[in-house]
Amino acid sequence: MAPFSHAIDVSGITKRFGGKTVVNAVDLKVRRGEIYGFLGPNGSGKTTFIRMLCGLLVPDAGTGTCLGFDVRTHQADIKRHAGYMTQRFSFYEDLSIRENLDFIAHIYGVPDRARRVDASLDRLGLRDRSRQLAGELSGGWKQRLALAACLIHEPQLLLLDEPTAGVDPKARRDFWDEIHRLAAGGITVLIATHYMDEAERCHRLAYLSYGDILTRGTVAEVISNARLSAWRVSGPGLAVLADSLRGRVGVEQVVAFGNTLHVTGHDPALLEGAISQVRDPGHEWSQISPSLEDVFISLMKGPRQAAA
């Protein structure tokens, strides 16, 4: 494998389909052994970007490397050393877990195939279900099979496209425990997710919307750079209160969080002025640090309005 300092190091990566730019001049550097979160709404370009990284699509513009290999000219080398987990379960449902893993190992030309399949079954806790047909598995067990298949050829990079969609909270937690074990062992992970709790488990993250990266950094850096002022309010009749707040100068978002509302805006003085107009003894107000979700909801607002 070619020597490299960053597992992913690309600049200006662009992809167009017809007259639509789906990924727009994206720059990204991901360090070896890092878990990098890739967030954004549906249609933001996350999947297209991941497919360019793993050699399934060729960029229309831009340069860079993945695992030291050129993303435009060495796609076959990248595929041999990366594992790609798609959004949808993509294995043979009429084959057993073991048969699926054996087939993938054969495709990659894995030496000592039977031993590697056995090791993969043990690593992901699949041994007792190895003869079960893949089509009979629940979402969490399908996820384990997919991850085992991604790892069968011992890749240095995992590209995971919304791998935990549709699985229960315990399966998600078990999955993330495994991801952190892999990263501790030196494997780099780029993971697309919609879940804020998962984003907070990443070392760094980037937010992509309509093909553009809007922010990047650690969770603390992303929240700090947003410069968002936030208030929390609790009490009776929150739906009515929310309606009275929306549209006021200084109020950019009013979002329900359980039995409270989060009210946010970028101008603290204007936001406090708007709140003072509806404040009453029946509601308890407190200024808070914005959450990651507050920040991403705020980021989504700008591109949505531009697109409209």
Say how far apart CA 115 and CA 94 lie, in whole Å.
23
Fold of 6-222: Rossmann fold (3.40.50)
Domain ranges of the chain: 6-222, 229-289
β-strand partners of 14: 61
Strands lying side by side in the sheet with 188-193: 82-85, 157-161, 188-193, 35-39, 204-209, 212-217
CB contact at 8 A, 260 and 234: yes
* pTM for the whole structure: 0.90
Instruction: Report the CATH number of the 229-289 domain.
Output: 3.30.70.330
pLDDT for 306 beyond 80: no
Work out the angle between the directed axes of helices 97-107 and 113-123 (0-180°, nearest 10).
130
pLDDT digits (tens, 9 = 90+) for 245-281: 999 999 999 999 989 999 999 999 999 999 999 999 9
> 9 is written with which tokens?
């190091």
23 beta partners: 15
Position 150: which residue type?
Answer: C
In this predicted structure, the answer to whether residue 48 has a pLDDT above a threshold of 50 is: yes
How does pLDDT run across 219-246, given as a tens digit for each residue?
999 999 999 999 999 999 999 999 999 9
